[in-house]
Amino acid sequence: MAKKPKFHTQIEKAGPTCLKGTLLAFDPSTGSHSSMPGYAIFKNGELVESGIIQVNPSARRNVRLFSITESLRTEFPKPDIIAIENIPPVRYSRAGSMGGWALVAIQRSIGAIISCFDCEYVEVSPKAWQNYKFHGYEKSDEHDAICIGLCVIETAKKLFKSDEDD
């Protein structure tokens, strides 16, 4: 029997909230000239808004992280659940896709984002969310956040389908 992904367990724990509440999905970043934090807001399982959080890439990293958290706390609705890309430091450093300091920065960004709200969160691996690329998908922080959210929504639909059929 195949081991189910960790995010399936997290979705099961969150219950149907993924489908009936407000889900904020994030593609984390500390903000740089090539990447900004992407977000997508889903309500009742439907995408209602997406974009990027603008951060001054020339600011010190701690200032950029503060800017992200301040934006999340003041400009975003309180979510019922958060979905965020999970980037395990060990696996990615071995693959050579990210340098050590970039991994440290992204982990700090993930921590800053999940600390902004008192709610459940789901960590979605890049391998999982990349199966949810939609028609018109182009590589961007915003589109990646949408795919992360879609991955959670569609997985929740599959996991809770029998509940809805009863």
pLDDT one-digit tens code per residue, 89-106: 665 544 455 567 778 888
On whether the CB atoms of residues 119 and 73 are closer than 8 A, the answer is no
How many C-beta atoms surround the C-beta of residue 42 within 10 A?
A: 25
Q: Which residues pair with 43 in a beta bridge?
A: 22, 46
Cβ–Cβ under 8 Å, residues 152 and 83: yes
pTM score of the predicted model: 0.88
Written as six digits, the tokens of 48 are 């209602």
The pLDDT tens digits for 6-52 are 888 899 988 889 899 999 999 999 888 899 999 999 999 999 999 99
Q: Which domains does the chain have, with CATH numbers?
A: 23-157 (3.30.420.10)
